[in-house]
Structure 1
Amino acid sequence: MTNPFFAAWTTPYEAPPFDLIQTADFKPAYIEALEQHKREIAAIGDNPAAPSFDNTIAALERSGKPLRRVDAVFGQLSSAVTDEQLQAVERDVVLLVARHWNSIFLDPKLFARIDALYQQRQSLGLDPEALRVLERYHLDFVRSGARLTDAERERFGAIVERLAALGTQFGQNVLADEQETVFALSEAEMAGLPDFARSAAAETARDRKLNSPFAVTPSRSSVEPVLHFARDRAVREKVWRAFVQRGANGNKNDNSKVIEEIVSLRAEQARLLGYESYAAYKLADSMAGTPAAARGLLEQVWDGGRKKAEADRTALQELALSEGQSAPLEAWDWRYYAEKLRGGRYDFDENELKPYLQLERVVEATFFVAGQLFGLTFNPRADIVGYHPDVRVWEAVREGRVVGLFYGDYFARPGKRSGAWMTSFREQSRIDGEQIPFIVNTCNFNKPPEGQPALLSLDEARTVFHEMGHGLHGLLSNVTYPRISGTSVVRDFVELPSQLYEHWLEAAPVLARFTHVETGEPVPEALLDRMRAARTANSGFATVEFVSSAILDMDYHSQPMQGTVADFEREVLASIDMPREIALRHASTHFLHLFSGDGYAAGYYSYLWSEVLDADGFGAFKEARDPFDPATAKRLYDYIYSSGGSRDFAEAFRLFRGRDPDVTALLEGRGLVEAQS
């Protein structure tokens, strides 16, 4: 059969023909696509004509289309539906791809053309978008070693290749630990868990073919209900330990040595480029600018978060004692008693909301908000094939024109890494005519038994809105060049569209759309009042577990690592006086953001940085007294969601908000203003 990557795609909008793509297709597709791109790059570098924007930068933008196509499809499949065969291909091609991009970024002839254009950029008569693309290309090459000596380039290239292999190994190790560990639980051990969690655990037991009524795995979606509701303290402890020990079990999946090598190589990479640390290198191209600025925000929030968590710890310990637990409060107790404390203080049980938060209705609510803000509608396309039976596809329409395809993949399953993410099978551009984007949202919610609706927690519903915010950043992109399309922005800006979109979940017109799964009744106003009153309950815990992980990330990448991974982690937590009863949101050995690739390395702080932007940004709608205020929504579209990386990011926020961001809204939103004083 013909390799589908070597043929034209005759599907609607040329969407990936997943029914035709086989694992065996990927490696030959990669090899051919890499060779074709290599020839295209050589033609650009060897062009005898003087460098121009069109024959160099635009030519680079037009090159590599087959490679982008196979890489985008493979990247999602190797994360969402992987198996041993696909993982073997991943290990093979990751070095080929890393070596290929090294050869491009370290090509002296190619960089000479880009540099010549950059030096005369103000006299080229470029429009603002083209000028921005030229500047970003020049920076990409410089930050990838283009100015190094021949010997330095050779070493830099070797580091990039080794880091690519280590990142793949790290991610596969975490997934293996999650897949190979499963806890069979009895009826008695499930005592206290609500029906939705029991149904999910029963489904897991059936999927794993266990002779047990219930089972859970160490993935977050499976673990969280146990930690929140299981009365059996021993069950909470063993599940919690498996959860936090992923990648640190002394087995073939142990990531400790992988981390040591990654951190060492990144530090060397930064030194080659003239930076004192990897953090300094990464943050040089960010809104924060320096590790000191990022660390300053983390410390500002840390102090109030820890004080609030310590006050909650006292109350939780007293509650545990009152219920007969004489042992000290531990990390596997915190969520359990926090649920009880919230119920006692605010008469709010989040499980009361779940019957109203059906996955289908929450997804529809994200579409509703997109329609109110940006004029989007979403039409189901059952004729477009997904890569798994769970995947659904919609076409997004704006002003009578299809602007993109949206793929939704919401349920956890074997072979799917944990967490939630947005990616794309194709980015928006119009360099050679209008190319609509294909955007993917991936989540890991527990799948209900056949015929039953999937019910979400409030936090899971926020995740749907969060990922849709990323999705809209891709779908609404309205630029010419792929290099600055959609989410091609600096790390501490990329979370602004996603975190900002979360705010609409609790907007009154959106909450009014949710009805009870059985009765069809709307959410009672009294329940919503209790939900709002409890909004900052346990926010100290959430702040501490996140900020401690961000500080750990910053320390890994800004100072020499002494001793083992476990030693380093302990020392960092001791230095910030980490409460013993709270664990890192992501411990080192399963910190995929940091070590499975380098996307968030020295950048995990960016969620908090973006939270400053999104909390203050949503204030513009509050000030307008309308969550869908047309004038504010137009600025949001023009300067945030549609503009990609076409302008300076601080300027983009100012154009939307009318001023620089203020941290006050973040502190108020987390309930930390009093704790700060």
Structure 2
Amino acid sequence: MTNPLLEAWDTPFGLPPFGAFTDADFGPAIEAAMQEGRAAIAAIADQEAEPDFANTIEALETADEPLDRVLGVFFVVSGADSNADREALMRDLSPKLADYSSEIFANETLFRRIEAVWDKKDSLDLTEEQERLLYLTRRAFVRAGAELEGVSADRLRQVKSRLAELGTSFTQNLLADERAWIMELDEEELEGLPSFVVSTARSAGKAAGAGGPVITLSRSLIVPFLQYSPRRDLRRRAWEAWTSRGANGGETDNRAIAGEILELREERAGLLGYDSFADFKLETEMAKTPKAVRDLLMQVWEPAKAQALADETRLTAMLHADGETGPLEPWDWRYYSEKRRKEEHDLDDTELKPYLQLDRMIGAAFDCANRLFGLEFEEIEAPLYHEDCRAWEVTRDGRHMAVFIGDYFARGSKRSGAWCTAFRSQKRLDGEERAHVVNVCNFAKPAEGEPALLSYDDARTLFHEFGHALHQILSDVTYRSMSGTSVARDFVELPSQLYEHWLEVPEVLREHAVHVETGEPMPEEMLERVLGAATYDTGFQTVEYIASALVDLSFHEGEAPPDPMQHQAEILEEIGLPHAIPMRHATPHFAHVFAGDGYSSGYYSYMWSEVMDADAFEAFKEAGGPFDTEMAAKLEAHVLSSGGTEEPSDLYTKFRGRLPGVEALLKGRGLAA
């Protein structure tokens, strides 16, 4: 029997052949691809030819291509459209894939070949990109434990396998808690909610099979409910459900899992000779050290906290004016902040959302990419994994650049949040292949026949994720392992956060923010109010973010805490987190940190990148404006097309001429003195 996942894909642009395979094909395809990969690795390690760059380093680059191709499909659908079969397979595969990776990095014969190439690198006449690949390949093997022997090597393999299991369990527990909770509302409990929240709640109730409207734990529904519901009891109920994900007891409780993950990470770092997991993790990032991270976060913490405390006083007065007693609570902040925004800026989402249609905002993101980089987008028919997905071919001057896929609506099978991923990334080795890049969001899906309307925060998220997509679309490197977003974690958010700035360019909103019914552009006075409110509530937003980043860093700086929840509480008390502002991601649902190693010791990276993105947009302002062609060309040449071919600090310096300070960030957040 043949397996469609292992055959040539005769589809538009070589996209995965959705519809030709079933979930039952994934397991056999991945097992077969792993066997093929093992054979390829053995052929590289055991060959008689003297080690050189082509037969060892470049050969390694392509050894896992069949496996990468299948996993590229499986990982996308597992995150964006999961089901019981896919979740079961993920639980089975996670330790197997970790073991497979460990086998490669523990292959002593293979590592000796890599070392032999490394030792004679100065005589090989390598290009700069080849030198970088050799350096990164050797570094990956050393950091994976290739120099360990005996008991230590065996234990490291066990630790990594167990961490893979735990990360999968953490993710699936969180998704299970998000699926399980709904709050049904009767007609009386809908009072005070704007029509778009009511419509979304009715649509969610229909999807959940409920008898009427419901509130779910989808961010695009629960946040507007917390902003607008005058029912303090219902806000509290919703907020407590939202913030207790992963901490409800029973089989889906993540607290013990988080503790074990921290212990194993500490052990992993110790086996590799590092003082802490943070030291291990940050070695390859721009920040380099935990001290550098903490110094940045604390530079911003104090002014942000001062602003948040001043705001808390204002909101508490509003609470008391409504006849409530006691302190402002976390479930009150968004409600009273929204009322204050209406008072101070005469602006609320009910008025704004009709001007932020999803299709128009997609068009705005595309238009900016066209004006900056000459990219053109044509929607295409292609096999996709869910009916909500849409696809576009991306071209420039008639040349195919990529396929871009958008998956925008929330559903029970999709994990929360927003992210950019890919079925495949760009490369030139052994033939040009362009990226198949996917943006996944969780916007509220409208009722059938109604247009999808976004909040301003939703529109910013769309631009953010499309910035990541541009990093993939414009990638122009030889080796796939260094293409696109394959860069340091605290550099990868630069393109995404920088692209958010174009949503705030007045001429972009004038052209694309048109009323859903009348087609009229956003009135100038509303546009001024939108831009005037750009830094509104940044004290809250900055404090909740930095609190999470500091907890993440503290978890990994020294010995693993015996009780992560107690340690979290101690850190928050130490920094003086305001009572009414919770950390953005509490430990039991902190997927950035515990669903895998991606952002562990690295949640700070959004702010590290923001220092650069604020400075980078200033560069456009200092030049000819937001669409300055010369500055756009420099951004593409030195950031968006270069992937991981150079050190991030060198790439940014080539673009800007220097590294930035924190001043532009504080100014951009409205926190400068």
Give the TM-score normalised by structure 1.
0.98
Contact 2:290/2:553 (<8 A) preserved: yes
Query: Paired residue for 2:616?
Result: 617
Q: Residue 331 of structure 1 aligns to which amino acid in structure 2?
A: P
Distance in 2 (CA, whole Å) between partners of 1:577 and 1:32 is 54
Contact 2:483/2:643 (<8 A) preserved: yes
CA deviation vs aligned residue, 1:521-576 (integer Å, no higher than 9, x gap)? 11111111112222221110000000000001001111224342321111111111
Distance in 2 (CA, whole Å) between partners of 1:554 and 1:362 is 35
Query: Paired residue for 1:537?
Result: 536
Distance in 1 (CA, whole Å) between partners of 2:109 and 2:560 is 38
Equivalent residue of 1:512, what SS?
A: helix
Query: Paired residue for 2:450?
Result: 452
Equivalent residue of 2:187, what SS?
A: coil
Q: Residue 238 of structure 2 aligns to which amino acid in structure 1?
A: V
Contact 2:555/2:561 (<8 A) preserved: no
Q: Residue 507 of structure 2 aligns to which amino acid in structure 1?
A: P
Query: Paired residue for 1:356?
Result: 355
For structure 2, the 5+ residue unaligned runs are: none
List aligned pairs for 1:253-272, cutoff 5 A.
253-272=252-271
Percent identity between matched residues is: 48
CA deviation vs aligned residue, 1:344-364 (integer Å, no higher than 9, x gap)? 222222432211100000011
Query: Paired residue for 2:503?
Result: 505
List aligned pairs for 1:544-559, cutoff 5 A.
544-559=543-558
Equivalent residue of 1:495, what SS?
A: helix
List aligned pairs for 1:39-438, cutoff 5 A.
39-212=39-212, 214-382=213-381, 384-438=382-436
List aligned pairs for 1:445-524, cutoff 5 A.
445-513=443-511, 514-524=513-523
Contact 2:259/2:561 (<8 A) preserved: no
Distance in 2 (CA, whole Å) between partners of 1:420 and 1:562 is 30
Query: Paired residue for 2:34?
Result: 34
Distance in 1 (CA, whole Å) between partners of 2:584 and 2:625 is 35
CA deviation vs aligned residue, 1:560-619 (integer Å, no higher than 9, x gap)? 243423211111111111111101110100111001111000000000000001000011
Contact 1:378/1:396 (<8 A) preserved: yes
CA deviation vs aligned residue, 1:630-653 (integer Å, no higher than 9, x gap)? 110000010111110111110100
Quote how far apart the aligned CAs of 1:515 are.
0.5
Equivalent residue of 1:419, what SS?
A: coil
Contact 1:447/1:454 (<8 A) preserved: yes
Residue 2 (str. 1) matches residue 2 (str. 2) = yes
Distance in 1 (CA, whole Å) between partners of 2:264 and 2:160 is 9
Contact 2:218/2:410 (<8 A) preserved: no
Contact 1:473/1:642 (<8 A) preserved: yes
CA deviation vs aligned residue, 1:309-365 (integer Å, no higher than 9, x gap)? 000000000111112222321000000000111222222224322111000000111
Runs (4+) off by over 3 Å:
none
Equivalent residue of 1:394, what SS?
A: strand
Quote how far apart the aligned CAs of 1:400 are.
1.2
Q: Residue 637 of structure 2 aligns to which amino acid in structure 1?
A: D
Distance in 1 (CA, whole Å) between partners of 2:562 and 2:144 is 30
Q: Residue 207 of structure 1 aligns to which amino acid in structure 2?
A: A
Moved more, 261-270 or 341-350: 341-350
Equivalent residue of 2:393, what SS?
A: strand
Quote how far apart the aligned CAs of 1:190 are.
2.1
Query: Paired residue for 1:642?
Result: 641
Distance in 1 (CA, whole Å) between partners of 2:83 and 2:13 is 29
Distance in 2 (CA, whole Å) between partners of 1:16 and 1:594 is 30
Contact 1:561/1:568 (<8 A) preserved: no
Distance in 2 (CA, whole Å) between partners of 1:537 and 1:69 is 44
Quote how far apart the aligned CAs of 1:122 are.
2.3
Quote how far apart the aligned CAs of 1:127 are.
0.5
Quote how far apart the aligned CAs of 1:419 are.
0.3
Equivalent residue of 1:622, what SS?
A: helix
Contact 1:132/1:646 (<8 A) preserved: yes
Distance in 2 (CA, whole Å) between partners of 1:500 and 1:602 is 23
Query: Paired residue for 2:591?
Result: 592
Equivalent residue of 1:353, what SS?
A: helix
Equivalent residue of 2:192, what SS?
A: coil
Equivalent residue of 1:444, what SS?
A: strand
Contact 1:367/1:377 (<8 A) preserved: yes
Q: Residue 460 of structure 1 aligns to which amino acid in structure 2?
A: D
CA deviation vs aligned residue, 1:127-174 (integer Å, no higher than 9, x gap)? 111111111111111111111122211100100000000000000000
Moved more, 452-461 or 339-348: 339-348
Number of aligned pairs?
A: 672
Query: Paired residue for 1:569?
Result: 568
Equivalent residue of 1:537, what SS?
A: coil
Q: Residue 505 of structure 2 aligns to which amino acid in structure 1?
A: A
Distance in 1 (CA, whole Å) between partners of 2:491 and 2:358 is 28
For structure 1, the 5+ residue unaligned runs are: none
Contact 2:105/2:144 (<8 A) preserved: yes
Contact 2:178/2:218 (<8 A) preserved: yes
Distance in 2 (CA, whole Å) between partners of 1:158 and 1:233 is 49
Quote how far apart the aligned CAs of 1:450 are.
0.8
Distance in 2 (CA, whole Å) between partners of 1:562 and 1:617 is 39
Q: Residue 397 of structure 2 aligns to which amino acid in structure 1?
A: E
Quote how far apart the aligned CAs of 1:6 are.
2.3
Distance in 1 (CA, whole Å) between partners of 2:198 and 2:470 is 34
Q: Residue 236 of structure 1 aligns to which amino acid in structure 2?
A: R
Distance in 2 (CA, whole Å) between partners of 1:215 and 1:363 is 28
Quote how far apart the aligned CAs of 1:64 are.
1.3
Quote how far apart the aligned CAs of 1:256 are.
0.6
Equivalent residue of 1:607, what SS?
A: helix
Contact 1:5/1:66 (<8 A) preserved: no
Q: Residue 656 of structure 1 aligns to which amino acid in structure 2?
A: F
Moved more, 291-300 or 116-125: 116-125
Give the TM-score normalised by structure 2.
0.99
Distance in 1 (CA, whole Å) between partners of 2:596 and 2:184 is 33
Quote how far apart the aligned CAs of 1:399 are.
2.1
Moved more, 244-253 or 622-631: 622-631
Distance in 2 (CA, whole Å) between partners of 1:539 and 1:617 is 20
Moved more, 364-373 or 339-348: 339-348
Contact 2:476/2:641 (<8 A) preserved: yes
Quote how far apart the aligned CAs of 1:189 are.
1.6
Quote how far apart the aligned CAs of 1:177 are.
0.2
Contact 2:218/2:442 (<8 A) preserved: no
